[in-house]
Structure formats: C-alpha cells, structure tokens
C-alpha cells in the first residue's frame, strides 16, 4: 500500500502564505464582480441578447490561456550552503512557499511531496506534486531543479544555483510557468509578487534582485 507522511511546514512563512491566500480569494471575487457588473451595464443599456454576447466575450478574454510568467530572483542568506541545499531539496522549498503554504496539507506519498489544495468551498481540489533534481555545476557550485507537476504534466519549473559569496550563501533562481493563464489571473500574479518576497524574508532570505515578466 502507498505510504503517506504529513509534513510540518515552517510556521512564519505559512502565516504569510495564508494571508496571501485570503487576499487572493478577495481579489478573485472582485474580478467576478467586475465581469458581472459589466454584463448588467450592457443589459441596461441594450438588451439581453447583446448583453449575453458581451458576457461571453468577457469570459473568453478573461479566461483564455494567453500569458506565461517567467523571471529570475537572487537571494542571500546567512545560512551555510548545506542548510540551504537541505531546504531546497526538502518537501517545503523556500521559493515555493506560496504553493505549499496555500495547500490544505503537505504530504509525502511514496517519497514524492504533494500539495493538496481545495477551492470553490471545497468542491474541487488539486494535487500538484514536487519533483527535485540536484547536480554540481562546472564551477563547483550546486544546481537544484524543482518541477511542480499536475497530473504528471509540468506546471512550473524553478532552477536554482547555490553558491558562496562574501561569507553568505547566494541563491540564483530562474523560474518558468509551464502553464499559461488568462487576464483574470494578472491581479493575483501581481499580489503574489509582494507576498512571495515576504515568505522568503520570513525564512531568513533577503531578496536582492527580482525580475518578473508576463508574456504571450
């Protein structure tokens, strides 16, 4: 039978992630209200038929998966390289705090971390899994690749290079969203940037550089 182990999550970062989740749901609700209000305005000005067409167009534009997020971030910490590598290769990597922090629970099923997350008042749930690979680089540093998968399909990839500099440990991360999202997700993406940095600070990492892009 499959073995399952529940993972304890870092509490400081977990608290920040839960605050993000509450605000993200509020933002999602405001987007829905905006779409409904535009439909009602179209109905008042015209009639049901044109208003229905407006509603369909708004839903298509808002939900169409046309955007993809990519970016880089540089982190510094006083923790030594071994401690950072242990954190990155564990079930709750610091750079994925919003993912494991928003989950109902983090479990390890047959050695694979799983972030079970429910939404729509518990009517639906998803179970992204985390897959990790490590290897030394040619210059003596360490490279860690973190891949989130949904039903075995790539969801997001984070490639981190860990090195030492000026008595600290530096982590250079390049990330790519493997799935595209619609315009309705842009406010959540912008909100996530703020809280993502806060979760890293709560885990002892200083964000010295960040570059984020949304593209077609």
Instruction: Convert the pLDDT of each residue in 55-104 to its tens digit.
Output: 666 666 666 666 678 889 999 999 999 999 999 999 999 999 999 999 99
C-alpha to C-alpha distance for 169 and 88, rounded to whole angstroms: 13
Please provide residue 192's backbone torsions phi and psi, each rounded to the nearest 5 degrees.
-60, -35
Which stretch of DSSP H or E encloses residue 212? strand 206-215
Options 1.10.10.10, 3.30.365.10, 3.30.70.580, 3.30.530.20; CATH for 4-215 is: 3.30.530.20
How far apart are the two ends of the chain, measured CA to CA in Å? 43
Higher pLDDT, 47 or 122: 47
| C-beta atoms surrounding 149 within 10 Å | 17
Torsion of CA 7, 2, 134, 155, to 10 degrees: -80
CA-based nearest residue to 80, from 140, 13, 162: 162
- Spans of all domains in the chain: 4-215
C-alpha to C-alpha distance for 191 and 30, rounded to whole angstroms: 13
Residue 163: half-sphere exposure toward Cβ, Cα within 13 Å: 11
pLDDT, tens only, 124-156: 788 999 999 999 988 889 999 999 998 888 889
User: DSSP 3-state assignment of 183?
Assistant: helix
Give pTM, 2 decimals: 0.80
Q: Round the average pLDDT of the chain to a whole number and report it.
A: 84
The answer to whether residues 171 and 84 touch, using CB atoms and an 8 Å cutoff, is yes
């Amino acid at each position: 039978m499959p073995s399952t182990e529940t993972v304890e999550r870092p509490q400081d970062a977990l608290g920040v992630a839960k605050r993000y989740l509450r605000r993200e749901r509020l933002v999602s609700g405001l987007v829905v209200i905006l779409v409904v209000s535009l439909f009602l305005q179209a109905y008042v000005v015209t009639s049901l038929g044109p208003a229905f067409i407006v509603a369909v167009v708004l839903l298509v534009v808002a939900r169409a998966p046309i955007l993809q997020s990519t970016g880089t971030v540089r982190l510094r910490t006083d923790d030594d390289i071994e401690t950072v590598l242990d954190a990155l290769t564990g079930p709750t990597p610091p750079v994925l705090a919003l993912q494991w922090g928003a989950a109902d629970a983090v479990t390890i099923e047959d050695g694979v971390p799983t972030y079970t997350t429910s939404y729509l008042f518990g009517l639906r749930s998803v179970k992204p899994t985390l897959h990790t690979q490590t290897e030394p680089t040619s210059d003596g540093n360490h490279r860690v690749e973190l891949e989130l998968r949904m039903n075995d399909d790539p969801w997001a990839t984070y490639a981190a290079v860990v090195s030492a500099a000026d008595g600290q440990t530096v982590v250079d991360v390049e990330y790519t969203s493997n799935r595209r999202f619609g315009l309705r997700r842009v406010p959540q993406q912008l909100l996530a940037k703020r809280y993502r940095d806060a979760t890293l600070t709560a885990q002892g990492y200083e964000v010295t550089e960040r570059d984020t892009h949304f593209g077609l």
